[in-house]
Amino acid sequence: MHSLAEKIQRQDMRALARAITLIENDDPDKLSLMSDIFSVQKNAYHIGITGSPGAGKSSLINRLLTHLREKDLSVAVIAVDPTSPFSGGSLLGDRTRMNQHFLDPGIFIRSMATRGSLGGLARATKDAIRVCDAYGFDVVLVETVGVGQSELDIMKVVDTTGLVLTPNSGDVLQIFKAGIIEIADLFIINKADLSGVVRLKATLEEYMMIAQPKGWHPRIVKTISTENKGMEELWQSMADHHSYLYKTHQGEKRRRQQLQLEVYELIREEIWRDVQTKIENDHEKKVQLDDQEADPYQLARSWYQAWKGDT
């Protein structure tokens, strides 16, 4: 077994952090590590928190962390931040908002940059979730970038997706346009002390009447994270959804679908890495890429056919 996997199984926090760094850097040892991690995962409850910027996702998670620790539950938080197109870094503002929990051994907080991913998540997020699961956390919370219309990837990696909305923000129009509303297992109306709460709640209820969700009927929870209100109802709604998933076997079905998508993604990564390496090691192809008049469609087709012939 990989040495990091063994240490993670013994709940070595430093090994956990090193493993996620190795994953983010796409280390050649990554697949070996993750294969060993997969064999020791402990089936934590995976929760995704998504929504538009400014909805108060980080503040909400900060309050939820306190609530879960009062219930003696250990929690890992993976906060995915947007990446700078210039430096490749990210602001990591979420860690600033949650700094009161840094010294708590029952909480692990890790910020990850999207590094160009368009789906609201870092490419390595699923692996990071699995590593935290293997460590033995009871709950793994994933906060997405909050880019409005690129949040759909969250449903591929968690059990429960909570969509955070705020009154009078225009969020509802955006989520209807993007289809994000369809992935929500739970609607969280944050900043519920503002005007417009009744109208927003009525709009969500109308949507559910039209959509007629089968099986689980998404809950609508009102919270005021700045005043620490609504946390018990929020957690109870999450726990109810978790119970529903496993009483109806929908949880097993969802995770089977996620596993299938993950296998495809891993294959796609390996193919892309191989193709990119062959192109970058071929001087003639690199010269063609520098030609502004080169036909990208023809190059892609011919290079892909050449790669297929090589494999």
Q: What is the DSSP string of 37-70?
A: HHTT---PEEEEEEE-TTS-HHHHHHHHHHHHHH
What local confidence, expressed as pLDDT, does residue 231 receive? 96
The whole-number pLDDT of residue 130 equals 92
| Residue 90 scores a pLDDT above 60 | no
**Lowest model confidence (mean pLDDT) among 61-65, 208-212, 233-237:** 208-212
Chain centre to alpha carbon of residue 299: 34
Judged against a pLDDT cut of 80, whether residue 11 lies above it is answered with yes
Provide the 8-state DSSP code for 224: B
Matching CATH number, 43-248, of 3.40.1350.10, 3.40.50.2300, 3.20.20.70, 3.40.50.300? 3.40.50.300
Tokens of 216: 């689980």
Residue 271 has which token pair?
């193919």
Of 37, 36, 42, 51, the C-alpha closest to 74 is 42
Residues shown for the chain = 311
Measured CA to CA, the distance from residue 124 to residue 114 in angstroms comes to 9
Identify the sign of the CA torsion 268, 150, 117, 252.
Answer: negative
Q: What is the dihedral of CA 43, 129, 127, 21, to 10 degrees?
A: -140
Output Rg (C-alpha) for the chain, integer angstroms.
Answer: 21
What tokens were used for 309? 């012939």
The first and second tokens of residue 305, run together, are 């056919």
Res 292: pLDDT: 77
Average pLDDT over residues 68-93: 71
Higher model confidence: residue 79 or residue 150? 79
The token pair at 103 is 């010294």
Give CA–CA dist 114/125, Å, rounded.
9
Contact 143, 112 (CB under 8 A): no
pLDDT at 232: 96
Q: Is the pTM of this model over 0.85?
A: no
Confidence label for 88 from pLDDT (cuts 50, 70 and 90): very low
pLDDT tens-digit map of 24-34: 888 888 889 99
Name the residue ranges covered by the structural domains of the chain.
1-40, 43-248, 260-310
Exposure of 83 in the CB half-sphere (CA atoms within 13 A): 17
**What value does the mean pLDDT of the chain take?**
82
Higher-confidence position of 57 and 100: 57
Nearest to 20 by CA among 113, 95, 84: 113
The winner for highest mean pLDDT among 35-49, 119-133, 164-178, 218-232 is: 218-232
The reported pLDDT for the residue numbered 207 is: 82
Contact partners, residue 202, CB within 8 Å, separation at least 6:
none
The better pLDDT of the pair 261, 85 is held by: 261
Range of weakest confidence among 36-45, 134-143, 184-193, 301-310: 301-310
pLDDT for residue 296: 84
Q: Is the pLDDT confidence value at 233 over 70?
A: yes
The percent of residues in the chain predicted with pLDDT above 90, rounded, is 36
pLDDT over threshold 70, residue 263: yes
pLDDT at 311 over 60: no
Task: Report the pLDDT value the prediction gives residue 150, as an integer from 0 to 100.
Answer: 45
